[in-house]
Structure 1
Amino acid sequence: MKLKIVLMVFVFLSGCGKAVTKGEPAAAFSLSSLVSDQTITLSDYKGKVVYLDFWASWCKPCIESFPKLDKLHSKYKDQGFAVIAVNLDQSKDLALAFLQTNSVGYQVLYDDGAKVAGLYDVSSMPSSYFIDKKGIVRLAHQGFRPSDEIKIEKAIQHLLAEK
């Protein structure tokens, strides 16, 4: 099943037009929250540093990254940092079940059909994008290893320090 999901996402993404790349404005989107009735848009975070994280419930590195990202979100949210996690599971129920045991304090959205993932050329799990205060994609990060937390925190600090 995991391979089927990955292949479906890959096939979908292969047919997409030009994806957002580093140095370009982040692609605008609007998605539903997994835990509330809210619709969230990227523009809601204008003026903040955003870590846009695409994930799936079956992804082992995603399981590892969730508490680390939650810790960073808590530490820097008052300084203008936000994590937006975008789920790519085939079913919302899989994502909701994951959140039952991996709850976080940041926004978790559902990308039905991987349309937003296509805009960002997501090809592996997790895939993340640092968006600066001006809405420009500054860095892309694929996968997650324990040592990545230090690199991610340094990037957050750097982007928060920019005017």
Structure 2
Amino acid sequence: MKKIMIIISCIFLLMSFKNDVNKFDDLINEFEGKVVYVDIWATWCAPCVKSIPDTKKVKEKYKNKNVEVVFLSIDGDKKKWEEVSKKFNILDRNCIIAGYVQASNSKSLSNIQIKEIPRYLIFNKKGILVNDNAPRPTQKIKLAKELEKYLKE
């Protein structure tokens, strides 16, 4: 597995397949009142790509339960990102690609150290990061308990 090191302590800019650009904090604020499960992945990461169908199952299971699932790619190649996203039919408003701008802090992601991917995050209904190393989608029981805990808040 290829290891990476990303320290997210800047404004985290996002681009969707429609080429619109947003800040990560704005995206999380948009989902206020919902629990957000974030799948951090990249096209060059085989375990990440392999887990996409499992994350899609989480999305389907919780679609009517105030849980948003976000696919956050850290790819440098937008064309490859779009190809893989289309292949797995995840290219919607919650499938985004990240870029970095050295500037102000992101309240949502300040000082998270991501040493390897895939990586999963959970934000509670208030938009607060409550688990920066959440269970993988294949850890069905553990993940369900974690999501249910924050849904009850």
Compute the TM-score of the two structures, normalised by the length of structure 2: 0.75
User: Structure 1 residues 136 and 145, CA, compared in 2 at 3 Å: closer, same or farther?
Assistant: closer
Which structure 1 residue ranges, 5 or more long, are not aligned?
Answer: 20-27
Larger proportion of strand:
2
**Matched-pair identity in %:** 24
Q: What is the RMSD computed on CA atoms of the aligned residues?
A: 3.1
1:141 counterpart SS class: coil
* C-alpha distance after superposition, 1:109-152 (max 9, x if no partner): 11124877775322210111110001221112278483x23322
- Measure the CA separation in 1 of the matches of 2:81 and 2:44: 9
Match of 1:84 among 70, 80, 99: 70
Q: Decide which moves more: 51-60 or 115-124.
A: 115-124
Q: 1:136 aligns with which of 128, 132, 135?
A: 128
Report if the CA contact (8 A) 1:125-1:143 is conserved: no
8 Å contact 2:135–2:142 — kept in the other structure?
A: no
Aligned twin of 1:22: none
- Counterpart secondary structure, 2:62: helix
Does residue 72 of the first structure (1) align with residue 64 of the second (2)? no
Instruction: Count residues in correspondence.
Output: 143
Instruction: Provide the C-alpha distance between the structure 2 equivalents of 1:71 and 1:60, rounded to a whole number of angstroms.
Output: 18
Structure 1 runs of 4+ off > 6 angstroms? Answer: 114-118
Using the alignment, how far apart are the partners of 1:39 and 1:65 within structure 2? 26
Distance 1:53 1:114, change over 3 A: farther
- What TM-score do the two structures reach when normalised by structure 1? 0.71
Q: Structure 2: how far apart are the matches of 1:136 and 1:118? A: 11
